[in-house]
Amino acid sequence: MVTSIFTNKAEIPNDFVLSEALGELLGAWMNLREYVFENYPKATQEWNLPGQKYSWSFRIKDKKRAIIYLLPRDKFFLVAFVFGEKASKEALDSSIAPEIKTIIESARVYAEGRGFRIEVRTESIVEDIKSLIDIKLKY
């Protein structure tokens, strides 16, 4: 797995370094971020540093749980979700791309649900991720 490019634990990433990191995919990042807030205006966003072994990630959450994680890489990013059983079933029964269904199906199941990551290397995948956001917000 490719690691984050924001490894300086003393410096929270800002829009400038994010733009430099993502290049042409900054628009896809912003599109997904805005989509969550359009559909769940009470959400909050934050850069998160979960521990010394990790690097910076961006998460959008409600009061109790993360809705989506956005993980910056060099000229692309990952989106990460944790889906419970009902959300997983709905996603697998949806019209999202078969490649994404395979990622969800193969995700390890924990008590809190299935955690999975999807690489965003082109804007073409954004609509499927929006469908997953919709599912996440239902459950």
Instruction: Please state the domain count of the chain.
Output: 1
pTM for the full model? 0.93
Gap between the Cα atoms of 83 and 116, Å rounded:
8
pLDDT tens, residue order, the chain (139 aa): 556 788 888 899 999 999 999 999 999 999 999 999 999 999 999 999 877 677 899 999 998 899 999 999 999 999 999 999 999 999 999 999 999 999 999 999 998 899 999 999 999 999 999 999 999 999 9
Say if CB 81 and CB 130 are below 8 A apart: no
User: For residue 1, is it within any domain?
Assistant: no
Kindly provide the b/e burial profile for residues 23-53, where b requires at least 16 CB atoms within 10 angstroms of the residue's own CB. Answer: eebbebbeebbebbeeeeeebeeeeeeeeee
Q: How many C-beta atoms surround the C-beta of residue 65 within 10 A?
A: 13
Containing domain of residue 56, as a range? 15-138
Q: Angle at CA 136, nearest 5°, toward 135 and 137?
A: 90
* pLDDT computed for residue 105 by the predictor: 97
